[in-house]
Structure 1
Amino acid sequence: MSAADEILDIVDEHDRVTGRSPRGEAYARGLRHRCVFIQARDARGRLFVHRRTPTKLVFPSLHDMFVGGVVGAGESYDDAALREAEEELGVTGLPRPAFLFKFLYDDGAGRTWWSAVYEVRCDLPVDPQTEEVAWHDFLTEDEVRGRLTEWEWVPDGLAAYERLTEFRARG
């Protein structure tokens, strides 16, 4: 099954399921669905940062400071967070990511999804999926901040990063 054929729950503005649709159709028609964003840190506290492959359905070849993806039909946010983190980092036995908050991403141009933000510590050696990740490294917070204006970032990940920064500042 291709990524475009994956079945997603379609949700309303209150994150209630209203139907189901193949992923490709959900993207093409701008149907609201669910996604997870997981900030992964290594044992030294550095952030996993990567550049997406050019074959990705959404935001190809852009940088991201989260791993994650869509929540499948009938799947919980928590289960999707663990599945996506392990898949994208290329590890097994990762601790369950910790839920932080949820927000509605809407770019005003037909891309909208409920976004659950998580964090996880990954002490395992990573081996990211080559079909998902073109380049990766663990960067310090200062290195990430320094590249915010130098690199082109996925807009939903940037929105999640800004909200996460505010969330942590509030303590």
Structure 2
Amino acid sequence: MTGQAPRGAVYAGGLRHRCVFVQVRDGAGRIFVHRRTATKLVFPSLYDMFVGGVVGAGESYDTAALREAEEELGVTGLPTPSYLFKFLYDDGAGRSWWSAVYEVRCELPVRPQAEEVAWHAFLPEGEIERRLGPDDGPDDGWEWVPDGLAAYRRLRDQPGGRG
């Protein structure tokens, strides 16, 4: 069954919904990484290697990917993000969403939304891998959003090794 509900009701009720994840690279190929603000409804204060969010009612994944990337980066005029794949994220504890993964190159100066992003940097993949730690655990000092980590692993482990 599909329907529409306010975001807070979706999360409170554990309703499955649609999200987009956009991996953003700069001109040097480094990946945009950020720490979410403490006021975020889901996964506050955790690190993420994607920008993105919930797909709006009646909105396509493609439209949401561009909207979310431009909003979170604080830019306009990004190229259209390239669709990579879709997967179902389900943590078994009431958090479940269809997740469309994209990538985009951003050579514009970023000005992330202060209400969304507490810290940000473009990092080389080796630095991200180092921050994941050997077991992708929090012992590296950086605790990652679990849905972004699932998307990153899938992207990294694809044939051809994106990510």
Q: Same fold (TM over 0.5)?
A: yes
| Residue 152 of structure 2 is aligned to residue 161 of structure 1 | yes
Q: Which amino acid aligns with 2:53?
A: G
Q: Which amino acid aligns with 1:54?
A: A
Normalised to the residue count of structure 2, the TM-score between the two structures is 0.93
Q: What is the rounded CA distance, in whole Å, between the counterparts of 1:100 and 1:160 in structure 2?
A: 11
| Residue 66 of structure 2 is aligned to residue 82 of structure 1 | yes
**Aligned-pair distance for 1:170?**
6.3
Q: Closer, same or farther in 2 for the Cα pair 1:109/1:80, shift >3 Å? A: same
Partner of 1:37: 21
Identity %: 76
**Aligned-pair distance for 1:166?**
1.5
Q: Which amino acid aligns with 2:61?
A: Y
Q: What do you get for the CA RMSD once the two structures are aligned? A: 1.1
Where in structure 2 are there 5+ consecutive unaligned residues?
Answer: 134-139
Q: Which amino acid aligns with 1:55?
A: T
Where in structure 1 are there 5+ consecutive unaligned residues?
Answer: 1-11, 13-17
1:124-143 paired onto structure 2 within 5 Å:
124-143=108-127
User: 2:155 touches 2:161 (CA, 8 Å); kept in 1?
Assistant: no
Instruction: Find the partner of 2:8 among 24, 27, 41.
Output: 24
Partner of 2:106: 122
1:107-118 paired onto structure 2 within 5 Å:
107-118=91-102
Q: Which amino acid aligns with 2:151?
A: A
Q: What is the rounded CA distance, in whole Å, between the counterparts of 1:72 and 1:111 in structure 2?
A: 18
How many pairs were matched up?
Answer: 155
SS in 2 for 1:84: helix
Q: What is the rounded CA distance, in whole Å, between the counterparts of 1:62 and 1:33 in structure 2?
A: 21
**Aligned-pair distance for 1:167?**
1.9
Alignment deviations for residues 101-158 of structure 1 (CA, whole Å, 9 cap, x no partner) = 0000000000000000000000000000000000000000000000013110000000
Q: Closer, same or farther in 2 for the Cα pair 1:121/1:170, shift >3 Å? A: closer
Partner of 1:8: none
Partner of 1:152: 143
Q: What is the rounded CA distance, in whole Å, between the counterparts of 1:28 and 1:91 in structure 2?
A: 31
Which 4+ runs in 1 deviate beyond 3 A? Answer: 168-171
Q: Closer, same or farther in 2 for the Cα pair 1:32/1:135, shift >3 Å? A: same
**Aligned-pair distance for 1:168?**
4.5
